[in-house]
Amino acid sequence: MAHAQDAAKTAVQQLVNTVSQQGSVKLTAEQEQQMTDWLKVNSESVRNVHPSTFKPEVLVEMTGRFRNADNAAPAPATTTANGYTWHDVRFAESDTALYVFLMDVPQGDMRIKALHTAINGRIIGTVKLLGSTERMSWEQEERELLLEKPHVLPKDGVVVFKITWTTYYKEKPRDPSIKILEP
């Protein structure tokens, strides 16, 4: 049983790595069977997507406000059979969302540097863990996106967060009929 779980995890990691670099891929019946449980929850993240402009990233350990409840640093990342840890991040995009893949189950809070507030004026509107109804605790800052580790996570495998954007203007359009008084 453990071998089948390891094989499925490895297959999903390979799929995510390919999708993040090349976009949607056609799965064989054998591949779909191997990843059935993961695809039931996360299929939207690998179907009708394209590579993201965000490049793969390695998370750094958290400090400060977004640490574990006991204020301890997260456990060191253990390496999977493919050499991935939960610190390894991949991205893919659809027309309406950005999918953030952690290549293993996170052991602590996350800082994703690529998703800071200076990303072409885009501001994050929602962050959702696929397959969960839990409300995510997150904060987009000038240098990074801070994600608090969800209370309920899958037991094993690649974890997927879905991010949607909100409309944002760097400079609000000015109505010429409104006079701004200078001090």
pLDDT tens digits for 110-119? 999 888 876 6
User: How many Cα atoms within 13 Å fall on the side-chain side of residue 8?
Assistant: 16
Share of the chain above pLDDT 90, in %: 39
Where residue 45 falls among pLDDT bands split at 50, 70, 90? very high
Domain-by-domain residue ranges, the chain? 2-166
* Per-residue pLDDT reduced to its tens digit, 81-94: 567 888 899 999 99
- Total residue count of the chain as it appears in this document: 183
State residue 149's pLDDT score. Answer: 94
Neighbour tally for 136: CB within 10 Å: 16
Dihedral angle over CA of 64, 66, 72, 74, nearest 10: -120
Q: What is the CA radius of gyration of the chain?
A: 19
Whole-structure pTM value: 0.78
Residue 132 has pLDDT above 90, yes or no: yes
Nearest to 103 by CA among 150, 43, 58, 39: 58
The CATH class of the 2-166 domain is: mainly beta
